[in-house]
Every structure is written in C-alpha cells, then in structure tokens.
A and B are shown apart, each in its own frame.
Chain A
C-alpha cells in the first residue's frame, strides 16, 4: 500500500467502500451459516421444541464461541446496512449524523445484551 500518512494522507473520499462492501458479504456468510446451523437442529428434532432441546443447542463451547462471533458479525453487518440506508435517504447532514449515532448506540446496546445472555448460559 502507498504511503497514507503525514503530508501524503488521503483527505478526500471515504476510501472504506471496498472494506465495508466486502465485510458486509463476509459477515453475511457467517450469519447465514449460523441460521442454517440452528434451524437444522430445530427442524430435524422430533416433537415440539422443548427448553432442553433449545438450550442444548447453545450449550456446547464451540456453539457459544460461534454465537459470540455471530453477534459481532451482526453488529458490523447491520451497521454497514443501516448506514447505507441513511446515506441514501437522509440528506440533511445534521439529521443523518443523529441517526448514525442512534444506530451505533442502538446496536452497541443490543450486542451487549445479547452477549450478556450468552455468557450466563
């Protein structure tokens, strides 16, 4: 990569387009894999879904670790998506700024709650 600091620092454009575009797709694959993994265990079980079956899915250590990674992926995926929506439809910078801040706080709060639930299992 070329020098991007000091007097050579790029000051125009966002330059995070590719990074966010790619990370939204990578996180999408992580999220989709997780959904399929959880759904499969529910669908291929017999009878009504009991508490034992449901909590059993998340009891294994690898599943807890994966779920944690999924929460972080979800956070970033939703942030990129919501920011895209706000950038396209909300033109006044002040309103957009407030919505961006709201989205970050909302997502941070939700992610924290989700991790809290996961880590006390």
Chain B
C-alpha cells in the first residue's frame, strides 16, 4: 500500500511548509513581505526584550536611574557610544510600528474575512509597509534630534 502511494506520488509537485533555506529563493509579493516582516519584527522584539525591560526599569525606578537612562542614549553605556544605542532603539521603533500596524491589518482581516481579496491583501500590505517606514523616519528624526 505504501509502495503504491510512493510510486504514484513521485511525479506530483510536493508542497511543504517553507524552511529556512527556501526563504532566500522565495518570491516575495507585498503581502508575503508584510507577513515575513511581521515575523522578523516579532523575533527582533523577542531577542531585545531584556533591553526593553532594562529601559522600563531605569526610566521609571528613580530620578537617578532616569538620568542614567538618558545618559545611555546621549553619551553611551558599556563602552558603546550613545548613537549606537539610539540605532538599537530605532530598530525597536521600526519593529513595534510594523508589528502593531501589520497586526491591525491581521485583526481586520480575521474579522472581515469575507471581504478580503487578493488585491485588498496587496494594497493593505503596501499601506502597512509605507506607513511603518514613514513613521519610523519621523520618529527616528526626533530620536536623533533633527527637530
């Protein structure tokens, strides 16, 4: 039985869930790009979680630690200059913006699935990416003191 199944299925295309190696050779239409970046942004925040809690801790515990928090970004910390810490913060800003906005898109799609079309998916994915990058630029400029 299993032999027949094997011999008949050899010519058929095999669809499997993608693995790490196929990520590079994969075609990336806008909707899948938004989805992929949703995962990437989530993973970034997962690995930077101790940094986020460190920021929560130092910024809120006391006025002295609040000053230490500000100094880390203005002067530096652990031998790493402040602007590099700001870059990490900018990465976090992009990650939370993308995850938040793409998440809103997912929630809307889950609750309005009968309205969702291929075009809608592509257009809203483009909107998510453009909105995220624009807001990242605006907040990044604020972070680096451009205005």
Spell out A's residues near B (CB within 8 Å): 25, 28-29, 32, 35, 51, 54-55, 58, 78, 81-82, 84-85, 88-91, 103, 106-107, 110, 113-114, 117, 120-121
Classify chain B's interface size. Answer: 20 to 34
Bound CA–CA A69/B121 (angstroms): 32
Once A54-B66, A81-B42 are accepted as A-B contacts, the answer to whether A117 and B19 lie under 8 Å apart by CB is no
Would you call A117 and B20 a contact (CB within 8 A)? no
Selected A-B contacts with CB under 8 Å, 27 pairs: A25-B107, A25-B110, A28-B106, A28-B107, A51-B59, A78-B46, A78-B49, A81-B42, A81-B46, A82-B42, A82-B43, A85-B39, A85-B43, A88-B18, A88-B19, A89-B18, A89-B23, A103-B46, A110-B49, A110-B53, A113-B50, A113-B53, A114-B53, A117-B53, A117-B60, A120-B61, A121-B60
Bound CA–CA A35/B106 (angstroms): 17
Kindly state whether residue B130 has any CB partner on chain A within 8 Å. no
Would you call B57 and A117 a contact (CB within 8 A)? yes
Interfacial chain A residues near B61, Cβ < 8 Å: 117, 120-121
Once A32-B103, A58-B60, A81-B42 are accepted as A-B contacts, the answer to whether A89 and B20 lie under 8 Å apart by CB is yes
Interfacial chain A residues near B19, Cβ < 8 Å: 88-89, 91
Bound CA–CA A91/B17 (angstroms): 10
Interfacial chain A residues near B66, Cβ < 8 Å: 51, 54-55
Identify 15 new A-B residue pairs, CB closer than 8 A, beyond the known A32-B104, A88-B17, A117-B56: A25-B106, A28-B103, A29-B107, A32-B100, A35-B96, A51-B63, A54-B60, A55-B60, A81-B46, A82-B42, A88-B18, A89-B19, A91-B19, A106-B49, A107-B49
Interfacial chain A residues near B53, Cβ < 8 Å: 110, 113-114, 117
Write the chain A residue with the least CB distance to B22: A89
What distance in Å separates the Cβ of A55 from its nearest Cβ neighbour in chain B? 5
What distance in Å separates the Cβ of A54 from its nearest Cβ neighbour in chain B? 6
Would you call B56 and A114 a contact (CB within 8 A)? yes
What distance in Å separates the Cβ of B36 from its nearest Cβ neighbour in chain A? 11
Would you call B42 and A54 a contact (CB within 8 A)? no
